[in-house]
Amino acid sequence: MELLTNRAKQVDRRPMDFWERLYLISIFKGMWITLKHFFKKKATINYPEKQRPFSSVFRGLHVLNRDEEGRENCTACGLCALACPAEAITMEAAERLPNEEHLYREEKYAAKYEINMLRCIFCGFCEEACPKDAVYLSQTVTPASYKRENFIYSKEDLLIPHPKKSN
């Protein structure tokens, strides 16, 4: 049989001599490796006191954006849901009523917008697909929870605060 790689090594089948049977050399080699690692800098970060810096391209929680006047940018075009390979985004469109011009930019808006963060793979395709820059992935880490329903974020959970009402 021909080998696919040259990484295979022949097994040494000769009987062990006296020193090999004592395993002293192997024990000292293991102790030496342990001693070398004992004095190295630790890779562990004490989390509550210190926090690890994230990369500039880190993708965290989704956020639905608003314009300067506080109106929602999302027009419920559905491109983010179509671009999502994990099918984590669900939305329902609705027509804007005549007295809701101050809430929504376009005639159509997302009446229901949900993201299942247990399905999301944080690929950023939804952010790239959105023509209105309504959805983006922030630098916030998803908080831990014991319940699955806490990972399904609705539109109210994802919208940034209203810029005029927060002042």
Q: In this structure, is residue 163 part of a structural domain? A: no
Position 76 in a domain: yes
Which stretch of 2-11, 56-65, 153-162 has the lowest confidence by average pLDDT?
Answer: 2-11
Q: What was the pLDDT predicted at 141?
A: 87
Domain contains 37: no
Cα separation, 161 vs 159, whole angstroms: 6
Annotated binding residue 77: yes
Q: How confident is the model at residue 20 (pLDDT cuts 50, 70, 90)?
A: confident
Taking residue 135's Cβ as centre, other Cβ atoms within 10 Å add up to: 23
Find the helix or strand (DSSP H, E) in which 113 lies: strand 108-116
On whether residue 86 sits in a domain, the answer given is yes
Asked whether residue 154 is domain-assigned, the answer is yes
Judge whether 96 lies within some domain: yes
Q: Residue 103 is encoded by which pair of tokens?
A: 């809430």
Q: Is residue 51 part of a domain?
A: no
What's the whole-number mean pLDDT along residues 122-139? 93
The domain spanning residue 118 has which CATH number? Answer: 3.30.70.3270
Per the structure, the count of domains in the chain is: 1
- Annotation-wise, does 126 bind a ligand? yes
99 belongs to an annotated ligand binding site: no
Is pLDDT above 70 for 167?
A: no
Angle, CA 61 vertex, CA 57 and CA 62 arms, to 5°: 100
120 is in an annotated binding site: yes
Averaged pLDDT for residues 133-154: 92
How many percent of the chain have pLDDT more than 70? 97
pLDDT number for residue 136:
92
Closest CA to 90 of 81, 99, 98, 82: 81
Domain span at residue 130?
Answer: 62-158
pLDDT at 158: 93
Per-residue pLDDT band for 42 (boundaries 50, 70, 90) equals: confident
Position 164 in a domain: no
Alpha helices in 64-159 (DSSP H): 79-83, 125-129, 155-158
The answer on whether 60 is annotated among ligand-binding residues is no
- Range scoring the smallest mean pLDDT among 7-11, 24-28, 67-71: 7-11
Confidence of residue 1 (pLDDT cuts 50, 70, 90): low
Question: Which ranges constitute the DSSP H helices of 45-111?
Answer: 79-83
Would the annotation count 129 as a binding residue? no
Q: What percent of the chain has pLDDT over 90?
A: 53
